[in-house]
Amino acid sequence: MTSPTAAAVDEVARTSYGRLVAYLATVSGDLAAAEDALGDALVAALSTWPDRGIPERPESWLLTAARRRIIDASRRRDVARSALPELARAIEERWEQQPAGEIPDDRLRLMFACAHPAIAPEMRSPLILQAVLGLDAARISRAFLVAPTTMGQRLVRAKAKIKDAGIPFRVPGPEELPERLDAVLEAVYAAYGTGWDDVDGLDDARQELVPEAIRLARLLTELLPGEPETHGLLSLMLHSHARHDARRDASGAYVPLADQDVTSWSRELVGEAERHLAVALGGGRLGPYQLLAAIQSLHNRRSATGQTHWNGIVQLYDGLIRLAPTTGTAVARAAAHRQVSGASTALAQLDALVAELGEAAVAGYQPYWVLRALCEQELGLPTAPASADRAVALTTSPHVTAHLRRTLRPGSA
């Protein structure tokens, strides 16, 4: 049984990690030191709180312990002594400015620091996911199809770059914003996807990423109300999240989108999503998140019309693949074309994708193998069972695995 102390530490770590790290990093200018200091503070809490009791403000206790460790670590590293009073004074002054120990939310500042041009483009989103949202390297590596060890090494180098280059922790000005906003939006959407993929609801940390990502997207629309893509991203996530409760039936079995009970979709979330989509499309600058949101909007209109407008979805995917070609978009586009033009067309598009990018690009991508197995099954091809086996092997959800076995391998045990 988990002790009250361990439960309290786990709760504050899950709910406040990103905010605490963002605050410490913003004040100290050292992301890696902020993470290390907070980690030490969490360990100290596990040994201190059982004797002294859980503090009334656990976040404040952790923050106080962590900022002391940042200063102590700097001293141990023999940093120039003249810098230590300045660092300590900056931390103390900012702390004293907050009423009753209230901790400011600096996550957006940290997100934009992680998306600085000095950071390698391919590492900006993974860095944001770890630093701001608390994902570990293994989870991030799955999202970006990179080996966990490789991802971990890259994250360490990226954090060192922030410190060594003196990258400021601030929201960029208008002239810098376009270059860095894409990485921030991608990171928020990747966080949402990581939580959304936990269909079984077995991982609390992943489940919490969904509302956290939506909250960050809301903050972005408030911070940057004139940026169409911030509204497009929020609309996309809200449209998807509106169907969250329909993904499992009363017995817990997975229910694919086409078979979901539309009466269980959230009308409130769909309405909010539509409002943000209207704002985005009225901004005069079309972007990929707006197109993705429009696709989900068409899916959700089935609750009113009773049918899915696949021709419209195909047109949107055709536009999206030209605007922002990715492996995921190419596979989703092929799935839409299967609904309109049949399995042969979809399979030809999958073959073209492999011819262009190579087999390694899709080897570990589960949606590719699911769609390929469906197409080959419909066409009666002898390769269908092997593709189905690969799809099942790449599926981590027990409920989705059971669904795929029933769908792709109905005759197997």
For residue 194, what are its two tokens?
A: 């990581």
Between 319-323, 338-342, 407-411, the lowest mean confidence (pLDDT) is in 407-411
How far, in Å, CA of 316 to CA of 289, rounded? 11
How confident is the model over 241-260, as a mean pLDDT? 94
How far, in Å, CA of 351 to CA of 134, rounded? 37
Mark which of 69, 102, 135 sits at the end of a domain. 102
Mark which of 80, 102, 124 sits at the end of a domain. 102
Residues 280-307 have pLDDT tens digits of 999 999 999 999 999 999 999 999 999 9
How confident is the model over 171-184, as a mean pLDDT? 79
Residue 255 lies in a domain: no
pLDDT higher than 90, residue 244: yes
How confident is the model over 75-81, as a mean pLDDT? 55
Mark which of 49, 72, 102 sits at the end of a domain. 102
Whether the CA torsion 299, 305, 306, 312 is positive or negative: it is negative
- Give the SS3 label for residue 248: strand
Q: Which of 54, 42, 400 is nearest to 247 (CA)?
A: 400
How far, in Å, CA of 281 to CA of 277, rounded? 6
Range of the domain at 356: 320-412
Q: Which of 106, 218, 120 is nearest to 168 (CA)?
A: 106
Residue 91 lies in a domain: yes
What is the predicted pLDDT for the residue at 97?
53
- Number of structural domains (the chain) is 2
For residue 286, what are its two tokens?
A: 């079309």
Residue 153 lies in a domain: no
Residue 404 lies in a domain: yes
pLDDT higher than 60, residue 92: no
Residue 263 lies in a domain: no
Answer whether 310's CB lies under 8 Å from 340's CB.
Answer: yes
Answer whether 162's CB lies under 8 Å from 128's CB.
Answer: no
How far, in Å, CA of 413 to CA of 410, rounded? 8
CA distances from 168 to 30, 114, 115, 162, 326 (A): 10, 10, 11, 8, 31
Answer whether 163's CB lies under 8 Å from 157's CB.
Answer: no
Residue 22 lies in a domain: yes
CA distances from 91 to 16, 26, 271, 332 (A): 19, 10, 43, 48
How far, in Å, CA of 223 to CA of 62, rounded? 28
How far, in Å, CA of 319 to CA of 117, rounded? 28
Residues 166-177 have pLDDT tens digits of 888 877 777 777
What is the predicted pLDDT for the residue at 87?
56
How far, in Å, CA of 348 to CA of 90, rounded? 60
What is the predicted pLDDT for the residue at 100?
46
pLDDT higher than 90, residue 194: no
Question: Residues 376, 382, 385, CA angle at the centre, nearest 5°?
Answer: 70
Residues 105-162 have pLDDT tens digits of 788 888 888 888 888 888 888 888 888 877 788 888 876 768 889 999 999 999 999 8
What is the predicted pLDDT for the residue at 230?
96
Answer whether 68's CB lies under 8 Å from 92's CB.
Answer: no
Largest CA distance in the chain: 75
- Give the SS3 label for residue 254: strand
Residue 223 lies in a domain: no
How far, in Å, CA of 20 to CA of 30, rounded? 13
Q: Assign 3-state DSSP to the chain and report helix, strand, coil percentages, each to 5.
A: 75, 0, 25
Question: Residues 247, 251, 257, CA angle at the centre, nearest 5°?
Answer: 20
Whether the CA torsion 213, 35, 156, 74 is positive or negative: it is positive
Between 85-94, 197-206, 255-264, 323-332, the lowest mean confidence (pLDDT) is in 85-94
pLDDT higher than 90, residue 23: no
Residues 368-395 have pLDDT tens digits of 999 999 999 999 999 999 999 999 999 9
Residue 379 lies in a domain: yes
User: How many CB atoms sit inside 10 A of residue 358's CB?
Assistant: 10
Q: Can you list the alpha helix ranges (DSSP code H) found in 117-147?
A: 121-131, 137-143
Average pLDDT, the chain: 87
User: Which CATH number belongs to the domain containing residue 369 in this structure?
Assistant: 1.25.40
Q: Can you list the alpha helix ranges (DSSP code H) found in 132-282?
A: 137-143, 148-164, 177-196, 204-223, 228-241, 267-281
